[in-house]
């Protein structure tokens, strides 16, 4: 509503805006057009803000009657006699007609009476061009009259064709004769238009009798099939459809599988499927058939879209050598395709981001490696700039770290063994003197493990406390290879209680 802005201003006691004159004239115009059915007093009270109310107050009216025939003028109909221009006589039938100011018009249906264009010939023309040893002029005349009578509906012409001593003309005979006569007439008569139109007209009268007869024979043979033959045909058709469907499905599956597994979008255009992988439900027959077809296609067409396997390396090799200079200039490096002979699915190497191929440490020693790398201030999980060189260097660093960690572990192990052996030696010397029972040694297997593990745990704790300088080798080892620790401390002495504990842990 136009007034609302001013109302709000007054309500919020905002001073009038810079255009105080604007709402004023609007109000006056709104007041001027007071709707009907509402009193002036009421309107001055509620103002123009209740148009819906005003509409309701309008005078009630009955439902409007539909207006037939446009402007409401009465339509008059008249029973009139009319003449049909398509008739040659003066028959007058009567029908009801709408009275129009411009009087009765021509009968609207007469325009549908189209006289077909027919050819006639003179005696002279007949003797010159149209002689045919199988047809007399009389019979040709008769044929033309029948064709005109039945408007070139050949089935009916053939049905009604009754020439005395008729030598049993077939439908094709009749058509052939009629069209050939028409063609000859067009050819030999003077032609006003251009040759193209003439040729088109002649071709419209073209009729190949042999072909028609052959076609009819085919139709007849099609009709004369026995039910068995029809059933067999049906079965074959269904089979073919099934095979086609299977093949399509096989292709689709293969495509999607390749896309998933080998990344066909980015990689090689054609990859030979391993023969031992039949996909899905495809039957044997269809499989081999599809293969055969595929083989045939690949050998037949040498289209660039699907290059055959044999031609693939040949086409790739020169490309790489030629552009060596270009590559070096643009810092392009090419990975050597590890193709031994045939590019198989397994050997295929799609394009990848280098950062995805960063070397990862072995899971067993990963924490240790990351720890040691962290000491160096290197984060191996993410390279800021994973260039080729950087990646190589990271790889080298990783390898070095791994070997260092491994070596450290071995060293630790050996140290420990030495220690253990030394203590055992000491014990033995003691038992020699004390002459201890052998039974204790027997049950040792399960217990000493625990011992070692407890030691390990202690070690870990200790190492954790010691900080980052010492790589805790033993803990990782013990977690990963409990078997080894078992063998190491096979001759340790401990209590029987620890056996159950080990089982729980394992």
Chain residues that interact with another protein, rule: CB under 8 A: 84, 86-87, 89-96, 107-110, 112-113, 149-150, 153, 155-156, 158-160, 171, 216, 219-220, 223
How near is the Cβ of 160 to another protein at its closest, in Å?
Answer: 7
Residue placing its CB nearer to another protein in the complex, 220 or 335? 220
Residue placing its CB nearer to another protein in the complex, 159 or 302? 159
Distance CA 177, CA 185 (A): 12
Q: Tell me how many degrees the CA angle 342-347-351 measures, rounded to the nearest 5.
A: 115
Distance CA 462, CA 464 (A): 5
Distance CA 443, CA 493 (A): 8
Q: Which of 432, 435, 450 is nearest to 493 (CA)?
A: 450
Residue placing its CB nearer to another protein in the complex, 141 or 149? 149
Q: Which of 473, 503, 463 is nearest to 486 (CA)?
A: 503
What angle, rounded to 10 degrees, do the helices at 366-376 and 473-480 form? 160
Rg of the chain on CA atoms, in Å: 53
Residue placing its CB nearer to another protein in the complex, 113 or 423? 113
How near is the Cβ of 210 to another protein at its closest, in Å?
Answer: 16
How near is the Cβ of 37 to another protein at its closest, in Å?
Answer: 44
| Distance of alpha carbon 485 from the chain centroid | 58
Residue placing its CB nearer to another protein in the complex, 155 or 326? 155
Residue placing its CB nearer to another protein in the complex, 191 or 218? 218
**Secondary structure element (H or E) that encloses residue 137, with its range:** helix 137-149
Residue 168 falls in which region: left (phi positive, over 0), alpha (psi -120 to 50) or beta: left
How near is the Cβ of 115 to another protein at its closest, in Å?
Answer: 12
Residue placing its CB nearer to another protein in the complex, 93 or 470? 93
How near is the Cβ of 171 to another protein at its closest, in Å?
Answer: 6
Q: For the residues of 142-196, what is the DSSP string, one character each?
A: HHHHHHHHTTT-HHHHHHH---TT-----HHHHHHHHHHHHHHHHHHS---S-HH
How near is the Cβ of 87 to another protein at its closest, in Å?
Answer: 5
How near is the Cβ of 74 to another protein at its closest, in Å?
Answer: 18
Classify residue 430 by burial, with Cβ atoms within 10 Å: 0-12, 13-18, 19+: exposed
How near is the Cβ of 116 to another protein at its closest, in Å?
Answer: 14
Distance CA 182, CA 461 (A): 113
The 3-state DSSP class for residue 378 equals coil
How near is the Cβ of 178 to another protein at its closest, in Å?
Answer: 17
Residue placing its CB nearer to another protein in the complex, 160 or 392? 160
Q: At a CB cut-off of 8 Å and minimum separation 6, what does 68 contact?
A: 75
Residue placing its CB nearer to another protein in the complex, 109 or 163? 109
């Amino acid at each position: 509503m136009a007034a609302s802005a001013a109302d709000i201003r007054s309500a919020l006691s905002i001073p009038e805006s810079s255009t105080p004159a604007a709402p004023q004239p609007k109000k006056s115009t709104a007041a001027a057009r007071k709707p009907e059915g509402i009193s002036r007093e009421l309107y001055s009270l509620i103002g123009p803000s209740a148009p819906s109310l005003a509409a309701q107050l309008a005078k009630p009216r009955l439902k409007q009657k539909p207006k037939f025939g446009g402007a409401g003028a009465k339509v008059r109909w008249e029973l009139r006699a009319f003449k049909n221009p398509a008739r040659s006589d003066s028959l007058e039938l009567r029908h009801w007609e709408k009275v129009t100011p411009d009087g009765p018009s021509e009968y609207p249906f007469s325009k549908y009476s189209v006289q077909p264009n027919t050819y006639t010939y003179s005696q002279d023309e007949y003797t010159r061009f149209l002689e045919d040893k199988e047809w007399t002029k009389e019979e040709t005349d008769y044929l033309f009259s029948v064709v005109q009578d039945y408007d070139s509906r050949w089935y009916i012409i053939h049905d009604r064709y009754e020439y005395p001593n008729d030598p049993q003309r077939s439908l094709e005979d009749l058509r052939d004769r009629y069209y050939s006569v028409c063609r000859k007439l067009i050819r030999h008569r003077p032609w006003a238009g251009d040759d193209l139109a003439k040729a088109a007209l002649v071709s419209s009268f073209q009729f190949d009798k042999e072909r028609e007869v052959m076609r009819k024979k085919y139709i007849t043979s099609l009709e004369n099939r026995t039910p068995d033959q029809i059933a067999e045909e049906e079965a074959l058709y269904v089979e073919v459809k099934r095979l086609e469907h299977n093949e399509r499905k096989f292709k689709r599956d293969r495509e999607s599988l390749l896309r998933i597994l080998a990344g066909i979008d980015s990689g090689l255009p054609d990859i030979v499927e391993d023969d031992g992988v039949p996909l899905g439900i495809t039957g044997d027959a269809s499989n081999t058939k599809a293969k055969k077809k595929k083989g045939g296609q690949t050998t037949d067409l040498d289209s660039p879209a699907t290059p055959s396997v044999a031609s693939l390396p040949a086409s790739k090799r020169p490309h790489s050598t030629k552009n060596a200079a270009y590559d070096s200039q643009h810092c392009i490096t090419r990975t050597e395709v590890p193709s031994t002979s045939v590019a198989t699915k397994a050997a295929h190497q799609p394009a990848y981001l280098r950062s995805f191929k960063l070397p990862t440490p072995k899971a067993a020693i990963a924490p240790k490696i990351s720890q040691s790398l962290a000491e160096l201030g290197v984060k191996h999980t993410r390279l800021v700039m994973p260039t080729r060189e950087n990646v190589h260097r990271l790889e080298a660093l990783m390898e070095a770290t791994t070997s260092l960690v491994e070596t450290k572990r071995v060293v630790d192990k050996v140290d420990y063994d030495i220690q253990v052996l030394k203590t055992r030696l000491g014990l033995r010397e003691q038992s020699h003197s004390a002459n201890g029972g052998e039974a204790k040694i027997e049950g040792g297997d399960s217990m000493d493990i625990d011992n070692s593990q407890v030691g390990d745990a202690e070690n870990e704790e200790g190492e954790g406390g010691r900080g980052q300088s010492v790589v805790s080798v033993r803990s990782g080892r013990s977690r990963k290879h409990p078997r080894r620790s078992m063998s190491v401390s096979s001759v340790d002495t401990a209590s029987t209680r620890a056996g159950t504990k080990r089982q729980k842990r394992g």
